[in-house]
Structure 1
């Protein structure tokens, strides 16, 4: 099995905690060596997933929480965002999850559509599990090649 580190955090299902998650992903992705542009993409995609859970997963009077898991590998970052869940068993989640299919009901995912479009556009892979609550698993690979400062040559970043 490929070696990785796993970070898990739980936040109350409240809008004011989306910024905390954004700061966390920014720090993790920066430490891993992602480019500035990729870090911005990660922040937007993960904010969309967390905002969706905060907005749609719970009734107004319900005290819910959102669990965010970060699987840190040498070449990629896997981020899981779940509502109505306890702790992650990473291998269990990955076994039971599959790619988002366009024929799935948007209502089943409690997603307005545009957020999901953004996640798919900004991440390398988006998978969704929708049984007791929603788990979104997003993967972003670290690019081995970056663009040089003057944009007319390619340089490796590692």
Structure 2
């Protein structure tokens, strides 16, 4: 994997009231990189979900910290959310996620893996390592509106006459 141009690291207490700080950080970094508004909103939501999962499940009520790393590349932003808490079986979470039922309360849907589904929907790539603690890596590629250089531009193909 190529080296990132810049690394921004943030460590927060594993408490819900600090998740907003992480949302602000990704918003600022992604905006500076030139991401579109919708992509920034998607990243804020996915990253907040990863942090909330760590807050809710990692330390089982004990004090703990969540380390969030932002790896800035030319073509993408990679975000790692790492805790040193309880590990989990990713395959089991995916297996029980199943279809979403409209009458199911949100808390039950989140327990069934809705958060994971949400992250996978919003991000280009989601990698989870659950061996010692949990590391969630979220990747979003920059969707720059670049014109394919092979195609002639309309100004070159029109006749002006």
Band of TM-score, shorter chain:
0.7 to 0.9
Trace 1:78-89 onto structure 2 (pairs within 5 A): 78-84=78-84
What do the CA deviations read for 1:48-81 (whole angstroms, capped 9, x no partner)?
0000000110122x11010000000011000000
Q: Is residue 42 from structure 1 mapped to residue 43 from structure 2 by the alignment? A: yes
Greater share of residues in strand: 1
Trace 1:1-150 onto structure 2 (pairs within 5 A): 1-60=2-61, 62-84=62-84, 104-106=91-93, 112=111, 113-145=113-145
SS at match of 1:137: strand
SS at match of 1:104: helix
**C-alpha displacement at 1:4, in angstroms?**
1.6
Instruction: Extract unaligned runs of 5+ from structure 2.
Output: 95-109, 147-161
Greater share of residues in helix: 2
Please give the TM-score of this superposition, normalised by the length of structure 1: 0.75
SS at match of 2:130: strand
* Counterpart in the other structure of 1:156: none
Instruction: Extract unaligned runs of 5+ from structure 1.
Output: 86-100, 147-158
Please give the TM-score of this superposition, normalised by the length of structure 2: 0.73
Pick closer, same or farther for the CA change 1:45–1:3 going to 2, 3 Å.
Answer: closer
SS at match of 2:48: helix
Determine which structure has more spread, i.e. the larger CA radius of gyration: 2
Q: Distance in 2 between matches of 1:17 and 1:2?
A: 29
**C-alpha displacement at 1:3, in angstroms?**
4.5
CA contact (8 A) 2:4 2:71 kept: no
**C-alpha displacement at 1:6, in angstroms?**
0.7
CA RMSD of aligned residues (A): 2.0
